[in-house]
Amino acid sequence: MKTFLVALLVVTTAGCGLVSSRTADSSPAPKPTASKSKQASAATNKPSDAATRSSSPAPEPSETSTPTPTPTPTPTPTPSPTPAPTKSSSNDGAFDPVWYPDWTKNGGRGDAQKWPSNWPKPRIVDATGDGALSGRIILVDPGHNLGNSTHSSDINKRYWVGLDKICNTTGTETRDGYAEASYTYDVAERLTELLTGEGATVVLTRDRNDEESYGPCIQGRGLLGEQVGADIAVSIHADGGPVSGHGAFVYTPAPLAGYTSADKAARSVRLAQRILTGLNDQGLGGSTYFVPNIAPDREQGTLNTAGLPIVIVETLNMQNPDDSAIASSEEGRQRVAEGLAAGIVGYFAG
């Protein structure tokens, strides 16, 4: 799977101008320096000691002939080596994968399509440290997008992804109007910093949160992790439950022929358990109104189309005053990110 990632990243990043397309064969050779040109010109008019020593012995001089000097050959310039391609910084690390709009009832993917230009682009963020997650690739999906609310016809298009579903939804918000899409994006950025600090490479499903773009659709998010060779995927959300209820719960993929194997389902449950433990350790307990707190589900297109362990984490209830205060504060969002990060580290620890 890791080999597949390297190949994919080189191909995809090359397509966006993130890597050099030059090769040693196509690199123009550097011109000789001015001093070498002058030496070569002089050599054609006057013999040098080196030229005389390297030539065949001249015939005895006579009244009718004079020795002919051997010119110093013009040196052939050596082309400069083409530098190895490198991936751009995380701020510019967007790339264009493909997506499969309509799947079949047995899990077939239909025809591949270009990533739509009015979707946010995925973004790769390199590891910044060397820790418990070194060598891991983690897909982080900030749920929804702020622009979904202004692209209602686009997000309401219907697709088959194991069941009939719309592209995406607007998400919920706090009673003060703080959008779930903005909350999930902020938490995802904080989580990315924590994960890359532990040595992981993070792939974000969207590189922005604005009203000009919408999506990505759920099946684009789901399959992206497999395309980049991710080990796991974590989709960040917040619920809009009853005002009296608070706390987190997690959706995991349930076995579904052609979509979710028993192994994928089991590993996703284990990831959910570790994440709930991490959130609990941050003082963010499990849901009081959604029990049990782990729910295997066949009706989530993001889960169905992912070819790896994946969870959708409803981190808190935006309608509850206490949870809303957590979501609306930087300190609260940092606690959520740290709980998620601890759960991910715990998953890989066994």
| Average confidence (pLDDT) per 10 residues, the chain, 350 residues | 36 35 38 38 37 40 47 44 34 71 87 93 96 98 98 97 97 98 99 99 97 97 94 99 98 97 98 99 98 98 97 99 99 99 98
Whether 19 maps to a domain, the answer reads: no
* Predicted pLDDT at 40: 36
Whether 155 maps to a domain, the answer reads: yes
Whether 89 maps to a domain, the answer reads: no
Whether 15 maps to a domain, the answer reads: no
Whether 181 maps to a domain, the answer reads: yes
* Predicted pLDDT at 69: 52
Q: What CATH number does the domain containing 275 carry? A: 3.40.630.40
- Give the 3-state secondary structure of 252-289: EECCECCCECHHHHHHHHHHHHHHHHHHHHCCCCECCC
* Predicted pLDDT at 72: 53
- Rounded Cα distance, 310 and 303, in Å: 6
Whether 8 maps to a domain, the answer reads: no
- Residue 232 domain boundaries: 97-349
pTM, two decimals, is 0.74
Question: How many domains would you assign to the chain?
Answer: 1
Q: At what angle do helices 321-328 and 330-349 cross, to 10 degrees?
A: 90
* Predicted pLDDT at 110: 84
Whether 295 maps to a domain, the answer reads: yes
* Predicted pLDDT at 105: 83
Which residue type is seen at 306?
A
Whether 162 maps to a domain, the answer reads: yes
